[in-house]
Amino acid sequence: MKILNGKVALVTGASRGIGKGTAIALAKEGAKVYITGRTIEENTSSSNLPGSIYTTEKEINDNYGTCIAIQCDHTQDDQTQKVVKKIKKENDSLDILVNAVWGGYEYFTDGSTFWTEQGFWDMPFQRWDKMFDAGVRAHFVTSSMVSKIMINQKKGLIINYSFWAADRNDKGVAYSVAKAATNKMTECMAYELSKYNVSVITLYPGLVRTESVMKNSQYFDMSNSESTEFSGKVISKIACDKDNILLSGKKYTSAELALKYNIQDIDGKQPVPLTVDKC
């Protein structure tokens, strides 16, 4: 029996990357997965990367389970609200929210400058806006709308993807502050939702083999990398853990929770948990 049979999940930002992989992993375990994203046609993304929500939807429905794609720009609150209303109308519950949408910017064209800005004083201000509007704020708004459903049903799991940059000073001001804000948001949301049996957890993926990373793999040591599905496999186990409220309000690497739940990546490998000095 699949461990997420009967569960309903929403994964934001699932046209490609870790959002897509998470949706696939949840669907493989039996969840009915709703996905959102802005890209509806291949080769139309501003990132010049492959993928669209309908490509993800078709791949899941053809091979793994049940997926419903909804076009959504999460910087527009009315579009997010329509997504949540649709899910509420079509289902008795919403069990899992994974905030994977991200509008940020990272260098991928020069390994010497990957992650870091060349002085925040020279950084285009729009990069800050993208990381907060389509990142932190989008996570806050979606979580706020979904929380009303979870409070009413007195159960639920919210996952916020973040990264070690929140704990370091050398990964670029805007990027690091956005990730730190995400972590603090998790802590505060978990505190307020604890009495409703709703868990909120920050998850740090490792080096994930996204389309963007693989396009520029010459700049990385891929030996400890993770598939795009790995974190989703971990989330599936968290969702089934009756004591997951004990994890709420905290940050974890996907790899350390994989060890806790005895999970291997899809290639059978066991990624080693990163630490703040190794990321």
| Per-residue pLDDT reduced to its tens digit, 240-253 | 999 999 999 999 99
Percentage of the chain lying above the pLDDT 70 cut: 92
Q: Is there a domain that residue 43 lies in?
A: yes
Phi, psi of 123 (to 5 degrees): -75, 130
Q: Taking the CB of residue 260, how many other CB atoms lie within 10 A of it? A: 14
Between 99 and 118, residue with greater pLDDT: 99
pTM score, whole prediction: 0.94
Would you place residue 112 in the very low, low, confident or very high pLDDT band (cuts 50, 70, 90)? very low
How far is the C-alpha of 122 from the C-alpha of 230, rounded, in Å?
Answer: 36
User: 207 with 278: CB under 8 angstroms?
Assistant: no
Domain of residue 82: give its range: 8-261
Angle at 60 between CA 24 and CA 199, to 5 degrees: 35
Q: Is there a domain that residue 51 lies in?
A: yes
How far is the C-alpha of 60 from the C-alpha of 206, rounded, in Å?
Answer: 24
Across the beta sheet with 251-253, the strand order is 66-71, 32-37, 8-11, 96-99, 156-161, 198-204, 251-253
Domain count, the chain: 1
Q: Is there a domain that residue 160 lies in?
A: yes
Residue 95 has pLDDT above 50, yes or no: yes
User: 122 with 169: CB under 8 angstroms?
Assistant: no
Q: What is the pLDDT of residues 175-221, one digit of tens each?
A: 899 999 999 999 999 999 999 999 999 999 999 999 888 988 888 89
Would you place residue 37 in the very low, low, confident or very high pLDDT band (cuts 50, 70, 90)? very high
The β-bridge relationship of strands 32-37 and 8-11 is: parallel
Q: Which of 130, 150, 155, 157 is nearest to 26 (CA)?
A: 157
- Give 3-state DSSP helix, strand, coil % of the chain, rounded to 5: 50, 15, 40
Q: Is there a domain that residue 244 lies in?
A: yes
Of 13-22, 37-46, 208-217, highest mean pLDDT: 13-22
How far is the C-alpha of 233 from the C-alpha of 97, rounded, in Å?
Answer: 14
User: 95 with 159: CB under 8 angstroms?
Assistant: no
Q: What is the pLDDT of residues 137-162, one digit of tens each?
A: 999 999 999 999 999 999 999 999 99
Q: Is there a domain that residue 13 lies in?
A: yes
Residue 265 has pLDDT above 50, yes or no: yes
Q: Is there a domain that residue 223 lies in?
A: yes
Mean pLDDT, rounded, of the chain: 92
Write the CATH number for 245: 3.40.50.720
How far is the C-alpha of 160 from the C-alpha of 25, rounded, in Å?
Answer: 16
Phi, psi of 139 (to 5 degrees): -65, -40
